[in-house]
Amino acid sequence: MKTSQVILLNLSLAMSISSSLALTPKADWGYESVAKPNAASEPAKNKRPAHGGFAVQSNRVTSMLPPSAPVEKEKDRNTQAVESWLELYQLVSLDHELTEPQQKLIQQSLYAKLMTGQSPEVLGILEFWPTVKRVCQLMPEQQENYKDLFKSLMRLQLRTAHANESNLSETAIGELEAMAQLLGPERVAVPGEPPLTDSAIKAYADMACFIFEQNHPGRTVDAEDNRTMFANVICDKYRNAPDGPAREAMLNFDLTWAKFKILWTRGTDADHQQMLSQWNTGAKPVTTTPAAKRPPVSDQILAAVLNNGPWKKILLAKIPKPAVH
């Protein structure tokens, strides 16, 4: 591929970045077009460009999260779970403290769920939060990545709830209201049900720039005109998408990008080669390359997050069922 070109990322590939993980939504449609952004000659500043908060340029070695403490054996699991969810919400809202009304809304909803068949959605956090919390304390870079992951999962929850709002309980609505306050308003790029938002477009542009820079060291396409071109292409693709799964792939691109960042940050050089090979060679990598022969890059912590919590059911519903022959 010429350095003056970058192939716009195929969204069907994007949704299978973490194909080894359960509950990874996939789609069968994506980009086939080739775009020609203006490749600037200025070098990338480091191996992990700070696209969308990917690299935290800071000398901090401590996290903004509260220090980890041993789990009190006598503490009720329900209480542990609710306290963990409050900490997770605080991670998403690092810019400001959760207000007392927000905390009450979240607590009321969680305790109400614990009295119903939704209790696994609440208790599931105990399967991943202690480890995620420790990772965030040790690696500020991963803290930003997990923050983006949970924000994207919450956006997915809000979109799903909006489509089924007539079936929501009063306590569920309260938690969703608090969630929406933490995330802030979404800017709509393409109206619709659901609409395409700026967060999905920005994630797409961040990843397109990052992949190009990894393939072309010392060069970048991270310029305003190229980002505008990326936005125009994805908006056009969204308007003309042939079906719901195609739109869903684009709507969830912030989730795809967050998972990619987590895998890349904890990965080895060999993992990076494997991930780039998947992107560069298409859905069916060239099996003669050493990177293509390796199993897909995965992460147990990320898998635990996706397989637990209120988003599990949503992600399961979005995995295409195998065709019956």
pLDDT, tens only, 5-50 = 444 544 444 444 433 333 443 333 333 333 445 555 444 444 454 4
Q: Is residue 230 part of a domain?
A: yes
Residue 87 CA: distances (Å) to CA of 68, 97, 98, 215: 11, 11, 10, 38
Report for 51-55, 62-66, 239-243, 265-269: range of highest mean pLDDT: 265-269
Higher per-residue pLDDT: 114 or 178: 114
pLDDT category at 152 given cuts 50, 70, 90 is very high
Return the CA Rg of the chain.
Answer: 20
- pLDDT of 2 strictly over 70: no
Q: Is residue 61 part of a domain?
A: no
What's the confidence (pLDDT) of residue 62?
Answer: 36
Domains held by the chain: number: 1
Q: What is the mean pLDDT of residues 77-84?
A: 96
Rounded distance between C-alpha atoms, residue 18 and residue 298, angstroms: 6
Rounded distance between C-alpha atoms, residue 306 and residue 239, angstroms: 29
Span of 118-122, 163-167, 180-184 with lowest mean pLDDT = 163-167
Q: Is residue 325 part of a domain?
A: no
- pLDDT of 255 strictly over 60: yes
Q: Is residue 67 part of a domain?
A: no
Q: Is residue 324 part of a domain?
A: no
Record the pTM: 0.77
- Show the domain range for 153: 6-41+48-55+75-317
What's the confidence (pLDDT) of residue 89?
Answer: 94
Q: What is the mean pLDDT of the chain?
A: 76
- DSSP bridge partners of 259: none
Nearest residue to 265 (alpha-carbon basis) of 21, 35, 54, 23: 54
